[in-house]
Every structure is written in structure tokens, then in C-alpha cells.
Chains A and B, each alone.
Chain A
Amino acid sequence: MDFTPVIEGFEVLLQPENLLFCLIGVVAGMAIGVLPGLGPAATIAILLPLTYSMDPIPSIIMLAGIFYGGIYGGTVTAVLLKLPGETASAITALEGYPLAQKGQGGKALGVGAVASFIGGTVSIVVLTLVAPVIAGFALEFGPPEYTALTLLGILLVATIGNGSKLKALAGAALGLLLATVGRDAFTGELRYTAGNLELTDGLQFVPIAMGVFGLAEILYNLERRRKSTSMPVATDRVLPSKATMKESAAPIGRGGVLGFLLGLLPGGGATVSAMASYGIEKRLNKGSTPFGKGAIQGVAGPETANNAAATASFIPLLTLGIPANATMAVMFSALLIQGITPGPQLVATDPDLFWSVINSMYLGNIVLLILAIPLIGVFVRILYVRSSILSPIIVLIVCIGAYTISNRIFEVMVVIVFGVLGYLMKKYGFDPAPLVLAFVLGSLLEDNFRRSLLMFDGDVTRITGHPIAMTLLGLFLLVVLIPILLKLAKARRPDLVGADQTTAGAGAKVPASVAAGTGTGPDTSASPDGDPQDHPPKGSEEAPDEGSGPGGPSRP
């Protein structure tokens, strides 16, 4: 491979003028992205006009800045206010927000920035080296493959919640049900729309997430504040400490790999990658902080995965001309405006532009890290505003954010309805996360499953002709079966429990750790984390025995 264009590209980029545009892009991206409800796609769309009259190269550089700034902006609101701008940052909120409540918002944002930087940069490096080679992978991923992947994702969601499994399941079921609202994409039939035209396209993710996470949180806090006044605790350091980075290193590594691979897929790859990373880290967690209470690993892993995936999704765009998600669709039109047609021919016909797109991403990512760290201190100060002042402002911004989704008051209503629902759920011990995540995966699963059936002419067995889908389904089965088998084995041999826990390790292979991690036992904190292959054979091969059902008491 010839690296001359790569190097030459950098010479252009590093001119002071271009650096300035990158800086402006990152700042503007962060400033808009920090508004609740405005994810990277919306942020880029809003700031796009800034680039209209610019030359291609500075404008691409600025877009890269806006892209990374926008993604990080979403992280900031997810952590500090529990207001995610998109699915991926909804995962970050799960651990980031508890951290912020404990006064460690700076730590969460700092790790988030570092994790994002690493995830993004690793992805770009791989992109630089092998983009054309692996691009074809994206095309292999059709409806059957997606069906299998989503099934795996739903299994992870089922265990993502904290607290009662039954309540998590109830939330997930409601999420799946909500996903069916709207026009049936296959028959045109309207489902649960009650004759309301606004519902024909179904409910949207962002207002639901803003409602059950953000608004619900405000309502809940109002009530709690009356009972006991608790303000966020004092400030903390912004730069992640050595200990924090040590804790985060492994999750970042795993999240990066996961995010890159899943980010290549057109569609829900980025979302599933953040969820998968969270699921894995939760199972592998050995840290002092349990998940759900502000475990930094739950920020580091998903943030890396999210950013690695976001960057990896440039590969199908630049090499195949396929915008893999909403953000890429906006980037696609942004590049078109500059006269750049992303697609199979871009590298061949216009290598200079191709490499400047890639190189600007390096630059955008670095500038983001440099800018984010000092700004975190400013962002965190938001939390010290008295909630009697802050809450109304947030509610106002949430309403504006919801309105701008499609310029309709309807979405504001959705936020309010789901805000009340989220408040009630929280009050009665239902975790809203399974609802939101099942909602996202529900429509993915339904559409792709039905699409697969149509492709197969109704013959399910034809999925055997799809090796990737079969592999994923095999993993799914492992995830379901292994915990049951392990539990059966342990019910007979309680002495093996100890062995399980010592063999668990960060070096566990990803699929295996997912498998072992999704135990359905009633007591998750004590469920085995181990790589099943390390399990003593005599234990794992024990056949199910009478009197030791899955529900039986497994340990003291």
C-alpha cells in the first residue's frame, strides 16, 4: 500500500487555518451536541450550513470536528443529566449518571473523553490500513444475520437491568410492545395508532429516552428532595487518575474491538456494540463498585465501543457509498454538498479527498480530547446550579429538543407521557433501561425477521445457508444453555462454585464471556464469570439430574 497520499494529506491538514476550522468544528459540535435530545446526526445537520461556502478540505475538517464534538456532547448530557441524545449514549447514562450523582461526574466525563479518543483513533488506524479489504463484510450482513444479532442483543438487554429480573422483563416486554406501534412496514396495516396520523410512523426513540430517563429523573428528584436534601457532592479531579485508568483499560480494549466490528455493519451496529460492551463489562465486573451504582467500567467500555463503532461506520460509507445510520446519512449529504461522492470509486478517482476525509478524523479526534479535558470542569458546574433553577431550564430545553425532532408538538407530548411513566417506574422499582433498549431492538428484530422469512419464501431452514447468521444463533444458544448447565452442575456439586470464580478473568474470550455472563440465576452478584472451557470437565458435563431444576437453590 502506498502511504504517500496519507502523509501528504497531513501536511495540508496541519496548516494553522485548517486547525482553526477543526477547533471551531469541535467547539460548535460540543455546544450543540450538549443540548439534550440532539444527537450527532442532528448536530451535524444543524451546523451543516457553516460549511456551505467553504472549500472542500477545510469544510471536511470542520465536519469531522463537529462529528466528534457532537458525539461527545451527547455523552456530557447523558452523564450529567441522564439525557441521552441517542441510543449509544443511553448506555453511558446507566453508569455515568450515578457517578455524577456521587460527585464523580468529572471522572466519568474524563474517562469518557479518553475512551472516546482511543476508540475513535484505533478505528481510524484500522480504517486507514484495511478499509477496502473489510468493506465487503458490511454487505454480507443482511436481514437473516441481523435477526440473529438482534436476538443476541435482546438476550443481553434482558440482563442489563438492575434489580428484579421479573420487573426488568416486564419493562422489556413493554418496550417490545411499544416498538410495534405504527404502520406495519410489510402490509401497510396500522397498528395501535388509534386513528392518529402522528403515530403512523411509530414512536421515536429520542423522545422516549428523554422522557423515561431525563424527565423522569427530574420528577423523581423533586420528590426526593422534599424528603431529604441531597446535593451532588463536592468536586473531583477531571483528569482520570492512574487507578481509574487501570480499571478502565480492559473495558476500553474490549469495547474498542467490539465497537469496531459491529460498527462496520450497516444499521444498528453502533447501538448493539454499546449494549454488548455494557453487558460484558457488567458480567466481568470485579471492581469495588457494582454496576448500576456508578461503575466506571460501564462508562469506559460502552463509550469506547460507541466511538469505535461511529468511526468504523465511515468504512461502508467511504468504500461502498452506504450510509450505515442516521449520522452517516447526514455526513453523506454533507460530503455531497462539497462535491465528494462517497462510494466505491472515491479512493480510485480522488485519493486526495479520500485521505483528507480520513486524516481529518484523526485531527478531529485529537482536538476533541485536547478541548474536552479542560471543558469538563465547566460542564460539571452545571450540577451545582440549584435544582429549583436547573430543573425548569432542563425541562424547557428538553421540550425544545423534542419539538425540533420533527417540528411538531406531538413529540413534546411523548416526552411528557414517558416522563410520567418513567417516574412511576422508578418509584415502583422498575428499571427503565430494559424498556428503552427493547424498544430499539424490537423493531429491528421484527422487521429483519419478517424480511428474512420473505427472502426464504417462508422456509426457516434456509437460514442454514447463512454461515454468519448460524454462528450468531449458535452463540445465542450457548448464552442460553451454558448458565443453565452450569447451575445444574453446581446444584449437584456446590464445591465447584469457588473454582468458577477463580477461573474468571479479563482474558476470557468475548463470546465465551458473554455466554457465561448472562447467567439467569437469581443472585447475579454471585453468578459465575468464568470461561466455561476452564470449568472442570466432570462438573460441566454432568447431565441434568432429577431434583435439580433450573430454579432450584444453587448456592448458600
Chain B
Amino acid sequence: MSWPSCSRRPLAVVAAGGLSLGLVACSGVTDGTAGGGGYPAESITLTVGQDAGGSTDLIARALAEGSQEALGVSMPVENQPGANGAIATQEVANQDPDGYELTLLNSTLITVTSQVVPEEEAVALDDLDVLMGLSRDDYIMVANADTGYATVDDVAADSGDLSYGTAGVGTGSQLAQLLLFEDAGIEGNEVPFDSGAPALTAVMGGQVDVATIQVGEAMPQIEAGTINPIVIFADERNQHLEDVPTAQEKGYEVPVAQYRAVAMPKGAPDEVRQTLVEGIEEITATEGYQQFNEENYLTPEEVSGEEVEQQWTELADQYEQSIEDNGIDLGGSGE
């Protein structure tokens, strides 16, 4: 049906499944017994701003799976893809903070996308109350095995004669790659794709020399030896790729990663908030959920909502500063 450029259209068809998927998966609504004061009394909707089947969606579904057990009610996942999740996030922010409308946030929407889009379109955390952080999904720069690149220095040696793929304008993938190249003095042609998968395909086919994608996407190919891992953009090594150095170790200040957290509209009663936080903590403690993280190469970052807000705000400021200092052009009308 579609190659990257087209995929955003037909891919949305996938999302058609999203709503119904959630409905079919967890249609049972039971009486609320977990929290006090009768909350939750009915199912809690978890809105995802990405298509069904992507990693954000999978995390949402893994979380939703434990809801019946932990909160006593089901948690249907609803996909509302569009504008990199901005539409879904704004939609949820405008709902009543009654505890029945949650959203799964991608940090790059707040920290990176906001640097590219016009101000009125940028999503800030102001209208949202972050309940809890979930996990970190690392970006990794990979090269086609035939290039022989194994380190950033190898890549730098071919500076000027390079082409590199990113997962698109305004993504963490793009920011990480641009910052690293700027810092390491590497020049090349940026080729944006519509998401990580086509960028990976282009690396495998040798259409671009390197690309920055998420670890989960790269893992099967790294294991098969078709692509070489070069560097990971996190402040610590990834437990699944202990041998791969971080950009920071190599002296590049590029701590770009995709964090995910659960949020709700601002202004919820304390007991509702408390019930939800405890419920999510209970879910993340289950063996099934932890195994899910493991299988998808996610690093748990189960920190409090306050910490998430602080961390993301700091990251956004830091990125803005780096972008300005390095004179990087992410493209877009935000500049």
C-alpha cells in the first residue's frame, strides 16, 4: 500500500483498528472497588497520539492490560494519530480532570517538536498533570555494515561525502543526529524519512550511510549483523547493548532520548490522582509489564510526575539552547 511518504495516509487506517481494538480487548466494565469514593466506577480511556502498532501504542496497551487487576476497571486504548501526537494531547488536556481520560505522552513532542512548529501549535505541559514516568526508549546511530563504520570517528573521516537518514523533521532522531554531527564537525546530506522503519530500510539498502533510529527498531538488524551500532544518545549505556558507547562518553553533549509518561488533564481531585498513581505503580511492578519492557528494549524510568515535568522542561530548554548555540536548522516555521 505505501512507502514512507504515503504511509502516513494508509497507516492511519491501522488506527481505525485502534478504537475497536481497545473496545474488543477490554469491553468489560466492572464496579470500581480499588479506589475510595467510588473512583474509578467505569472504564478509563487511555488516548495515544500515535498509530496502532507503534512503540508508543504498544506501551499503552501493555499498561492497559494490567488495569483490570490494579484499578478494578478496564482501560481501553484509543488511537488519535496526527501532528506527532499534538492533536490527541490537546484533546485530552481539554477534558474534565475526572480521572477517566488519560494520555500517554511522548517526551519529544514536548521537548523537540515544539522547537519546530509554530508557537500556537506547540504542546506544553501547562494544561496537563503528569502522573508518572514510564520508560526511556534510546536513539541509536547505525551504519550499513558494508560501510565498515564502527565509531563516530570512522563516520567523521568521511565527512562531507555522507548522507544520513532521520525519522523526520522535528523528531528526537533528527535532533540527536544533527547535534552530534555539529559537535563532531561532520558534514553530510540530511534525508528525512517519515518514521524510523523506512530510515532503517534505507540504511540497509545503502541509500544512506547512517541513520538514527530507536533501539527497538534497530535491535533485530544489529543482531543479524546487517547494520553496525555506532553510538547511543542517552546519558547512560543501554542495558541491552552494553558494548555500544554513549555519545556523552565520547565527549558529545547529546542526551536525546524518547521518554514516555502518563498524564491527565490538570486539576484532578487528590484522591483520584492518588488512586491512579498507585494503580499505575502496581501495573509497572507486575512481571508481565517488566517483561514487556525487556522484550522491547525499554529502560524503566518510573519516576514521579513532578520529576518528569522538571526533567522534560529542562530538556526542552537545553535543546533550545543547543540548537541556538550550534546554529542548527531543524526546519519548520518555529525558527
Proximity string of chain B (150-169) to chain A, C-beta cutoff 8 Å, 1 when within and 0 when not: 00000000000001000011
- Residue B328 lies at the interface, judged by CB distance under 8 Å to chain A: no
Beta-carbon contact of B169 and A204 below 8 Å: no
- Asked if A186 meets B79 with Cβ closer than 8 Å, knowing A44-B17, A201-B8, the reply is no
A143 interface contact, C-beta 8 A: yes
Q: Is the CB of A405 within 8 A of B201?
A: no
Check B224–A345 contact: CB distance below 8 A: yes
Tell me, in angstroms, the Cα distance from A495 to B117 when the chains sit together.
Answer: 64
Count A interface residues, CB 8 Å.
82
Interface size on B (CB < 8 Å)? 70
A85 partner residues in chain B, CB cutoff 8 A? 13
**Which residue of chain B has its CB nearest to the CB of A139?**
B205
* CB neighbours of A404 from chain B (8 A): 15-16, 18-20
CA distance A46 to B1 in the complex (A): 18
Partner of A140, one of B21, B205, B221: B205
Choose from A186, A197, A446 the contact partner of B169 (Cβ within 8 Å): A186
Interchain CA distance A447-B1 in the complex, whole Å: 16
Given B10, B86, B191, which contacts A451 in the complex, CB threshold below 8 Å?
B191
Q: Could you tell me if A440 and B207 are in contact, using CB atoms closer than 8 angstroms? A: no
Give the distance to chain A from B77, nearest Cβ to Cβ, in Å: 11
Known A206-B9, A408-B82; 4 more pairs at CB < 8 Å: A39-B10, A46-B16, A88-B1, A142-B206
Chain A nearest Cβ from B94, distance in angstroms: 12
The answer to whether B169 touches A268 (Cβ under 8 A) is no
Q: Which of A323-331, A355-363, A383-391, A545-553 contacts B (4 or more CB under 8 A)?
A: A323-331
- 12 A-B interface contacts by CB (under 8 A): A46-B21, A142-B205, A183-B169, A185-B168, A201-B12, A202-B8, A205-B9, A265-B3, A323-B197, A332-B53, A406-B81, A454-B190
Given contacts A407-B78, A455-B163, contact A326 B11 (CB under 8 A): yes
Which of A187-195, A242-250, A364-372 has 4 or more CB atoms under 8 Å from chain B?
A187-195
Pick the contact of A185: B58, B78, B194, B200 (CB < 8 A). B194
Q: Does B331 contact A (CB under 8 A)?
A: yes
What distance in Å separates the Cβ of A461 from its nearest Cβ neighbour in chain B?
A: 16
> Residue A333 at the B interface, CB < 8 A?
yes
Per-position contact with A for B201-240: 1 when CB-CB < 8 Å, else 0? 1101111100000000000110110100000000000000
- Interface flags for B1-34 (1: CB within 8 Å of A; 0: not) read 1111111111111111111110011000000000
> Contact: B2 with A45, CB < 8 Å?
no
List the A side residues contacting B10 at CB < 8 Å.
39, 41, 86-87, 204-206, 325-326
| Number of cross-chain contacts by CB at 8 Å | 245
Taking the complex as formed, is A19 at the interface, i.e. its CB lies under 8 A from any CB of chain B? no
B226 and A344 contacting across the interface, CB-CB below 8 Å? yes
Using Cβ atoms and an 8 Å threshold, which residues of chain B touch A203?
A: 9
Q: Which residue of A lies closest to B17 (CB)?
A: A45
Asked whether any CB of chain B lies closer than 8 Å to the CB of A401, the reply is: yes
Identify the closest chain B residue to A204 (Cβ).
Answer: B9
In the assembled complex, which residues on chain B have CB atoms less than 8 Å from the CB atom of A268? 1-3, 6
Assess the A141–B87 pair: CB atoms within 8 A: no
* B331 near A187: Cβ-Cβ < 8 Å: yes
Q: How far is the CA of A41 from the CA of B1 in the complex (A)?
A: 10
Contacts of A415 in B (CB 8 A): none
Tell me the nearest residue of chain A to B330, going by C-beta.
Answer: A188
Who on chain B is nearest to A447 by CB?
B5
Contacts of B168 in A (CB 8 A): 185
Which residues on B sit within 8 Å (CB–CB) of A269? Answer: 3
Tell yes or no: A510 within 8 A of B by CB. no
- CB atoms of B205 and A188 under 8 A apart: no
Q: Give the CA-CA distance A37 to B4 in the complex, in Å.
A: 21
Q: Is B52 positioned at the interface, with any CB of A under 8 Å from its CB?
A: yes
Bound together, the chains give a CA A369 to CA B332 distance in angstroms of 50
Do A322 and B9 form a contact, CB below 8 Å, given A45-B16, A46-B21? no
Residues of B within 8 Å of A407, CB to CB, are 15, 18-19, 78-80
Interchain nearest-CB distance for B243 vs A (Å):
19
Q: Within 8 Å of chain B (Cβ to Cβ): is A292?
A: no
- The reply to whether B16 and A443 form a contact with Cβ atoms under 8 Å apart is no
Q: How many whole Å from B60's CB to the nearest CB in chain A?
A: 13
Q: CB of B116 within 8 A of chain A?
A: yes
Partner of B1, one of A44, A87, A140, A454: A87
Q: Are A198 and B87 in contact (CB under 8 A)?
A: yes
What CA separation (Å) do A118 and B131 show in the bound complex?
A: 54
Chain B residues within 8 Å of A138, by CB: 205
Query: With A206-B10, A407-B79 given, is the CB distance from A333 to B204 under 8 Å?
Result: no
- Contacting B13 at CB < 8 Å: which of A41, A88, A186? A41
CB distance B24 to A46 under 8 Å? yes
Expressed in whole angstroms, the minimum distance between the Cβ of B98 and any Cβ of chain A is: 19
Contact B90 A197 (CB under 8 A): yes
Pair A266/B9 contact, Cβ less than 8 Å: no
Alpha-carbon gap, A183 to B117, bound state (A) = 10
In the bound complex, residues from chain A placing their C-beta under 8 Å from that of B4 are 267, 447
The answer to the question of B170 belonging to the interface, with a C-beta cut-off of 8 Å to chain A, is yes
